[in-house]
A and B are shown apart, each in its own frame.
Chain A
Amino acid sequence: MSGFSMSRRGLLAGASAFGATAALSACGAKTGSATSSSGAKADTSGDTVKVGLLNSLSGTMAISEVTVHNALLLAVKEINAAGGVLGKKLKPISQDGASDWPTFAEKAEALITDDKVVATFGCWTSASRKAVKPVFERYKSLLFYPVQYEGLEQSPYIFYIGATTNQQIVPALDYLKKQGLTRLYLVGSDYVFPRTANKIIKAYAEANGMTVVGEDYAPLGSTEFSTIVNKVKDAGADAVFNTLNGDSNVAFFKEYKSAGLTAKSLPVLSVSIAEEEVKSIGTQYLEGQLTAWNYYETTPGAANTEFVKAYQAAYGADKPTSDPMEAAYISVYLWKEMVEKAGSFDVAKVKKASAGIELDAPEGKVTVDGTTQHVHKTARIGKIGSDGLITEVWNSGNPIKPDPYLKDYDWASALS
């Protein structure tokens, strides 16, 4: 009986706290719109302006997001050393999303309303992006998102610096088709990115004479893959298309090798394994397997040599650089170009100035597409070597125009 009354009191306290938060945030939005046409007013009065860095520095995603955070800090430091943006130094404000989606939304709101940042950089998982999207839209503040994702999204307040599907998954399928690997087995983690990606893969396969012989999803964080690997083995596939995320990859590839499968007998093409992950899974399990990205540490060019050198000087000579890190790094530079072209930190003006901004990035030339707020990027297929580095075996030649809704692809008409 006492337990009941206690829990009821707890419930009441929770409810009133919730009411208070709701009232507070409504209040915040109101004052924001009163003081500025663009929502919460970013503070640009002093010698410095604040930029928000929103990454998971703890929890299960920290493994990947800490490296992105490091790359963002490096870019901010370099920009400050070169004189800042519009004569103002940048002050990075780091917030820990803690691999928890509601926390991301909370911290995003804190960055915008308390710290009055001029722009925010970060998020990794699609779930965290979807959680903060309404916050950035409500306050009309900008988020730069650095990771490849499943497409089918176009928020007016997000710049998507990572690849959308037609710059990563579709070229990867083109490559497999060209190699004559037409019977695919799809293995992915059970959440929005792999499910959407596989929907696209199945539509592509149907239109291009390829067959999907099996499809399996494991819960995020799952470490038991013996049965899935048995199924893959029995299915008679030519290749495995892997959209697993995080720790699961380690267990999957260890199991894959134990079962006697190799890159020669049944290649795996992964879209979420970059240099950092290769290191933590172990090259002995990955040698010869394929990946699809827009950037590798080995990508040739002066801009990349400099980026790798600067990153390793700051964080250690044994630290690899990867695609999401590179995208995070250039996202700060792209924003700087936009602000300087606009001559103002004002969100509406920055958005307007974004179209056609170009950068000689470590990954090659990138151009911002003003309409979709995505970036033209070159697709690259790589092979994992015994030294843990990924070397390119194929690229798309020219940067591919971003097409988040796959409007230019007939076979994808049923998807969006």
Chain B
Amino acid sequence: MTVILNQSFTGISIGAVLLLIALGLTLTFGQMGVINMAHGEFIMAGAYTTYVLQKDISGAGVSLLIALPLAFLVAGSLGALLEWLLIRRLYTRPLDTLLVTWGVSLMLQQLARDIFGAPNVQTHAPDLLTGNISVGGITLANNRLFILGLALLCVLGVTLILRLTPLGRRIRAVVQNRDLAEVSGIATGRVDRMTFFIGSGLAGVAGVALTLVGPIGPTMGTNYIVDAFLVVVVGGIAQLKGSVITAFALGVLQSVLEYSTTVSVAKVIVLVAIVAFLQWRPQGLYTLRTRSLA
């Protein structure tokens, strides 16, 4: 019983990490349809922001809290810049976007290597987040609880922005019917850039969270980019709740399979399951129904 509970928590915590890295993509890939291979490098930018902050501000807890909004700004600005410089010229050519952003991702990796050096860097987690609490025989790692909370908070934030703010209304309008939105007086170019800013910023926040569980290095983004795309594709593009459900489902599935088999076998089974699922529902878990002809 303890094993099952422990594994369920592990699964949920894996799901939380998946959710956090995929959340930004639900906006840039899901809403805008841009295949941004440099998304992983925005995660990296967030992680390095944490590292730089911690070098200058002593207290690990304080610097982590400041890093969250700052990483959002840094990664978001990088994203907006990328959108303005390159992606907006390629909206009609999705395959070119893929190649261009992949090139950008390699450039950003090398840039990080030149600035921070090839070896990984480390941050100190605040003491509060390195321990764990035991509840009835199951161990809940504090850093995982923190990431779970952060992921849920981010989902809540994005939902509120999309549902309640004028910006959110404009984003939804552009996603549902770009031409109609444009003739209705929405500056779609500006909305695109803003969406890209928020999506990339969320990758930065994910980067801060990942400093608590994984390595911080120039190539860290490549560890997560595939998983992030998987979550969005399975969840169904253009739908936030699809990504949320998928992230936790994949997390639990992975951890349960991993416990009874090995990591590689579990990964194979998960991927086969995803392929089978997409055969049955190519559009993903949830799909956006519109009357647009496009």
Contacts and interface: CB of A to CB of B under 8 A. Distances in A.
Interface stretch (A32-40, A61-69, A159-167): A61-69
Nearest to B140: A258
A280 B217 CA distance: 9
A216 B263 contact: yes
Given A247-B214, A251-B214, A282-B122, A230 B264 contact: no
A231 B142 CA distance: 19
Interface string B121-161: 11111000011100000010111100000000000000000
A118 to B, nearest CB: 28
A300 B6 CA distance: 46
Interface string B101-116: 0000000001001000
Given A63-B119, A279-B119, A234 B3 contact: yes
A254 interface: yes
A395 interface: no
Contacts of B119: 63-64, 66-67, 276, 279-280
B272 to A, nearest CB: 16
Interface in B211-251: 212-220, 222-224
Given A234-B3, A247-B220, A258-B142, A226 B118 contact: no
Interface residues of A, number: 39
Contact of B263 (A62, A228, A284): A228
Contact-size category for B: 35 or more
B259 A231 contact: yes
A257 B113 CA distance: 28
A67 B117 CA distance: 11
Given A226-B13, A280-B121, A221 B223 contact: yes
B52 to A, nearest CB: 16
A154 interface: no
B255 A247 contact: no
A375 B205 CA distance: 49
Contact of B110 (A58, A60, A281): A58
A276 B214 CA distance: 17
A62 B215 contact: no
A84 to B, nearest CB: 30
Nearest to B10: A226
Contacts of A247: 120, 214-215, 217, 219-220, 223
B68 to A, nearest CB: 19
8 contacts: A59-B219, A66-B119, A190-B264, A218-B264, A223-B213, A254-B212, A258-B144, A279-B119
Q: Which 10 A-B residue pairs are closest in the complex by CB-CB distance?
A: A280-B120, A250-B215, A258-B141, A282-B122, A223-B214, A227-B258, A62-B118, A247-B215, A226-B10, A66-B118
Given A223-B223, A224-B254, A226-B13, 15 more contacts: A58-B110, A59-B219, A62-B113, A63-B118, A67-B119, A219-B264, A219-B267, A223-B220, A226-B10, A226-B144, A227-B258, A230-B6, A247-B220, A251-B215, A258-B132
